[in-house]
Amino acid sequence: MQRHIQRTRRRSLPLAAAALAATALIVAGCGSSNKSSSSSTSSSSSSSSGSSAKGKNLTLVAGVKGDEFYITMNCGAQAEAKKLGVSLDFQGPDQFDAGQQTPIVNAVAAKKPAAVLIAPTDSAALYAPIKQLADGGSKVVLVDTTLDNAGVAVSQISSNNEAGGTQAAQALGKLIGGKGKVLVVNVKPGISTTDARAKGFESGIKSQPGLTYLGQQYSNDDPAKAASIVKAVLAKNPDLKGIFATNLFSAEGSASGLREAGKLGQVKIISFDAGPKQVQDLKDGLVQGLIAQQPADIGAQGVQQAVNAIEGKPNTKVIRTGFVTVTKANINDPATQKALYKASC
Ligand code: T6T
């Protein structure tokens, strides 16, 4: 990944793209897709019998089902499950919502799978349902999002979301020449990942006195709501210069909002994630930079940690995976293409 990003830097890029590419190098330093450089805070031994995991049933519970981030995570997890000889069931709510995810977790708990990989939709509300999984004997691996009290999990695997938010602030600041009004379109409070991205963004703009922060607004993971937020903010602030969209649906909606408001090119967008629609918006010039996470790697490492726990082998408690920053300038590079999310495996 780093090699790819260094190659991007050597190209002659327009100023804004060069700023983004330079930022990409720093963002990439926040984590890694390979296990050797993943960060680990501690290791622990599982208390299980140490028998082989082969043939055991695992379940992956996504934050929301039809989201290409989780679809890609499932692709990585399924490939790893096949390699390790375990079966993996994929489930998730139709919306990113604790009230919808909880009954799914309860139903999974009743089946007592050997391990569950889960992205909790709320860092507090999902604690009890997830503890129930662990109490029932399933090994729990938190993938992507986490809990306020993550002690129930054998491992937590995610991007370094706060660092990604800070890098987004720096990239956006550079894109708009260090001056002007900026807005965060977030998802909803209580999601560990997107909360951390907004926090990182807010600390990243503190060192840029020319930026005026208009605060964050919540889209509820609904592109239509994100679009209406952007149009309403533009109606009051026609001089809005930049938007940080903290996830895939916030980004899709923000781009639609700009298009509908006729502001193409006048407002810059940096967002997390790299779903197919986001990539199209980048190509169309509505969005200038995508911070692509590595969901397939999160899924694959999630399965590895689950199997370790089942087999009584040590776990890596905290794993941070990397990013690839996608711009119009590097979109056609094979390494960038590999980092884009899939709509199906
Ligand atoms: O950004 C990802 C994920 O990391 C986040 O926790 C929720 O939103 C996404 O799934 C993208 O929609």
Any idea where the domains of the chain sit in the sequence? 8-30+161-292, 35-158+295-321
CA distance to 54, 82, 117, 318, per residue, from 133 (Å): 20, 23, 11, 20
CATH fourth-level superfamily of 35-158+295-321? Response regulator (3.40.50.2300)
Q: Which carries the bigger pLDDT value, residue 267 or residue 5?
A: 267
**pLDDT tens-digit series, residues 75-102:** 999 999 999 999 999 999 999 999 999 9
C-beta of 272 in contact with ligand 1 (< 6 A):
yes
C-beta of 248 in contact with ligand 1 (< 6 A):
yes
**pLDDT tens-digit series, residues 104-143:** 999 999 999 999 999 999 999 999 999 999 999 999 999 9
Closest Cα to atom 5 of ligand 1: 193
Closest Cα to atom 6 of ligand 1: 193
Burial class (CB in 10 A: 0-12, 13-18, 19+), 211: buried
C-beta of 323 in contact with ligand 1 (< 6 A):
no
Mutate to test the pocket of ligand 1, among 60, 61, 65, 67 (most ligand atoms within 8 A of CB): 67
Interval between CA 21 and ligand 1 midpoint (Å): 22
Note whether 37 and 2 are within 8 A (CB). no
- What is the residue-averaged pLDDT of the chain? 89
Do the strands 324-326 and 289-292 form a parallel or antiparallel pair, or are they unpaired?
antiparallel
User: For residue 250, which atom of ligand 1 is closest to its CA?
Assistant: 12
Closest Cα to atom 8 of ligand 1: 247
Interval between CA 104 and ligand 1 midpoint (Å): 19
* Equal fold, 8-30+161-292 vs 35-158+295-321: yes
C-beta of 144 in contact with ligand 1 (< 6 A):
yes
Identify the pLDDT of residue 51. Answer: 87
User: For residue 295, which atom of ligand 1 is closest to its CA?
Assistant: 4
Interval between CA 258 and ligand 1 midpoint (Å): 21
C-beta of 145 in contact with ligand 1 (< 6 A):
yes
DSSP class of residue 76 equals H
Note whether 296 and 72 are within 8 A (CB). yes
Please state, in angstroms and rounded to a whole number, the distance separating the CA atoms of residues 246 and 248. 7
Give the residue among 216, 203, 210 at the shortest CA–CA distance from 254: 216
Give the residue among 147, 150, 141, 142 at the shortest CA–CA distance from 126: 147
Identify the pLDDT of residue 344. Answer: 97
Closest Cα to atom 9 of ligand 1: 247
Q: In this model, does residue 4 exceed pLDDT 50?
A: no
pTM over 0.95, yes/no: no
Domain 8-30+161-292 bears CATH identifier 3.30.420.40: no
Q: What are phi and psi of 143, to 5 degrees?
A: -115, 135
